[in-house]
Structure 1
Amino acid sequence: MEELLQAHSKKVITPSYRRIFISKLDVWTTAFRYFHQDSFARHHGLLVVSFACDLHTFKIEPPDYGGPRREFFRRLIKAIFEDSGAFEETPNGFIPKLNTSHLENGVYRTIGKMMSTIMIQGGEPPAHLAPCVVDYILTGDVLQVNATPDDVSASELREMLKKVETSSTERELEDAVKQCDSWRFEVEGLPNPVNMNTKDTFVKKAALFHVILKSQACLDQLIDGLSYYEVLPLFRENPLMCVFLVFPKIKQEITANYLFTAFTPKFSDVCSYTKMLQTFMWSMFYDFLQSVQGKQLEEKFSRRRLTEAEKTFLETLSLVHVVQFTTGASTVPAAGFNPHPQMIFLDCEPTGHPKANTSRNELQIPVDEDLLDPDSDEFDYFFFEALMNSPVCR
């Protein structure tokens, strides 16, 4: 699927660039201004992203041709589902929220264009949608959608439908259906009366109405937007690519072993003393990853007087921060990492803090003999400081 998306990307992306300036303080608003313009969407070149550090001073960070774009896509996915007002969360993922103002202004169509661009231009997958929503996107047919109570966003309504679904006696069913009287007569086509033979049909049709039919116009706009870069026909021809949109039942966690093997180390010449030092640094990187995964850094830093800010960051620190620090993304992009992540070693570096080049997906580790003391926590602390102070990880 990654190869399919990579091949499609090469076909639809034009050899040109579009420069955009994004505020980290308001990703949704600044991104929407670009994607909502027809003139912007008519072009299919790569985005070149610069972040405005502050909306008022509009001080611009140096442009970059890869890492900032991945970081922007990561932040944009979060903004789409949390800040746009176009979606609401359910136990199974996000579903469109009926917003008549958004509908009139074509916001859902614009979001579809954003999602297409994210997947085509190397962003991590916007895999946040409930499966029933993706079923409708791939088929365009409500009759092929299987909505369940867990696809309903309103908790009270969700519990009503679950009570109907799990009723084991006629009395229980009667009481459960009575709780639905405030809305069920307004939904055409529901079984009436509801009995043990028709309760499953009642639940399925009611869930379908509240999840899909009520916001069908919003979904149709979203589908129209997903035609950007010809993503929709690609997905409909290859239904397994739905994994790039569907909220996963079990979220795949990034592990220390995965990260360690994901970075290709660039060692010096064979049998050199420098290479031996680099190998030690490489092993210390693995030890740091294991410590982050096992929440052992607090114990390692027990002799240090950490600031309140450091204590707070230490509580939330995860391996995702390492991925963000190095690539700008928080997980593997839909089309895979390009270029492949690598680790290079810096000799004669004045500071022991690691660095990163997110355009090249490159982690840069200083080689310092003083950091090799097994009783020292310097390497771990320098790495911790680098992650904490990186704007990419905020």
Structure 2
Amino acid sequence: MNNSHVQSRVYRTIGQISTIIVQGGESPAFLPPVVVGYLMTGVTFQVPPLLKENPCFRVRLEKPEEPSDITATVVAALLKPNYSIQGRRPREELMVVKFRKFLQCVQEKEVSEHFHARTLTEEEQAFILTLNPGHILAFATGSSRVPATGFPPSPKLTFVHDDTKHLPVAHTCSNELQIFVNKKNLTDDDEFAYHIPVALMDGEIFSVV
């Protein structure tokens, strides 16, 4: 145990990077293309054979030339609803409508308009101002952008019929966003819209957005 590494949070940083890689989360992707190309030649630094034999891995290191913002439409298309039995489907379809409407509000920076009758904390107000569709994608998958090779497995939106739970739950290993279907979430748009930012704040959004 190295106390200086503990105090400077080196171990924490290494642990986060390792977890993201193991779970298929967002890659570092911070090096200029020319640097990655030089490393791939194996001329220096004893580049691991795995990297040289799999050129597609360069996307995990190479910084995108023109990062583009993830839109509400992209997130909605990625998170495909996984409907349950026919008798419950109408309620689940209504939740999908609410969820996609919320995504649009996030993109248009209109989320705060849902909470005119609710007193938000300073932290909640600050978070909502910076909220974007990429946050929601990162919450569900661990990545705020679509990997060059796509998401394995494909992201999905699933539903749990439970009257006692309300906050969305993310399972990043399976790229799944779980929404609870109940009377409160179905009838109260303000309540449903409020639960999503709270869930994201509780999850601490470990990926870079």
Superposition TM-score tier, normalisation by shorter sequence: 0.7 to 0.9
Contact 2:59/2:148 (<8 A) preserved: no
Residue 122 of structure 1 is aligned with which of 2, 19, 24? 24
* Distance change >3 Å, CA 309–CA 123, structure 1 → 2: closer
1:137 aligns with 2:39: yes
Q: Once superposed, what is the RMSD of the aligned Cα atoms?
A: 2.9
* Distance change >3 Å, CA 293–CA 339, structure 1 → 2: same
| Greater gyration radius | 1
Structure 2 counterpart of 1:233: 53
* Distance change >3 Å, CA 330–CA 127, structure 1 → 2: same
Structure 2 counterpart of 1:330: 144
1:391, 1:135 → 2: CA distance?
34
Structure 2 counterpart of 1:260: 76
Structure 2 counterpart of 1:169: none
* Distance change >3 Å, CA 384–CA 30, structure 1 → 2: closer
- After the TM superposition, which residues 1-394 of structure 1 pair with which residues of structure 2 at under 5 Å, given as runs? 26=9, 28-30=10-12, 72-73=19-20, 118=21, 122-139=24-41, 220-221=44-45, 224=46, 226-227=47-48, 230-235=50-55, 242-270=58-86, 272=87, 274-333=88-147, 335-373=149-187, 376-393=189-206
Structure 1: tracts of 5 or more residues without a match: 1-22, 33-48, 52-67, 74-117, 142-219
2:36 maps to amino acid: V
1:234 maps to amino acid: N
SS at match of 2:31: coil
Q: CA deviation at 1:324?
A: 2.4
1:318 maps to amino acid: N
2:169, 2:113 → 1: CA distance?
25
Contact 1:277/1:369 (<8 A) preserved: no
User: Which structure has the higher relative contact order (CA within 8 Å, separation 6+)?
Assistant: 2
1:233 maps to amino acid: E
Q: CA deviation at 1:269?
A: 2.5
1:244, 1:393 → 2: CA distance?
17
1:121, 1:317 → 2: CA distance?
24
SS at match of 2:198: helix
2:38 maps to amino acid: Y
Contact 1:128/1:247 (<8 A) preserved: yes
Contact 1:124/1:334 (<8 A) preserved: no
Structure 2 counterpart of 1:62: none
Contact 2:79/2:157 (<8 A) preserved: yes
Structure 2 counterpart of 1:210: none
1:338, 1:242 → 2: CA distance?
18
* Distance change >3 Å, CA 264–CA 140, structure 1 → 2: same
Q: Deviations over 1:161-182 (max 9, x none)?
A: xxxxxxxxxxxxxxxxxxxxxx
SS at match of 2:138: helix
Structure 2: tracts of 5 or more residues without a match: 1-5
Q: CA deviation at 1:121?
A: 7.0
* Distance change >3 Å, CA 342–CA 376, structure 1 → 2: closer
Structure 1 counterpart of 2:3: none
Structure 2 counterpart of 1:208: none
Aligned residues: 201
1:140, 1:376 → 2: CA distance?
56
Contact 2:168/2:179 (<8 A) preserved: yes
Q: CA deviation at 1:245?
A: 3.1
1:300, 1:31 → 2: CA distance?
36
1:287, 1:308 → 2: CA distance?
25
2:58, 2:109 → 1: CA distance?
34
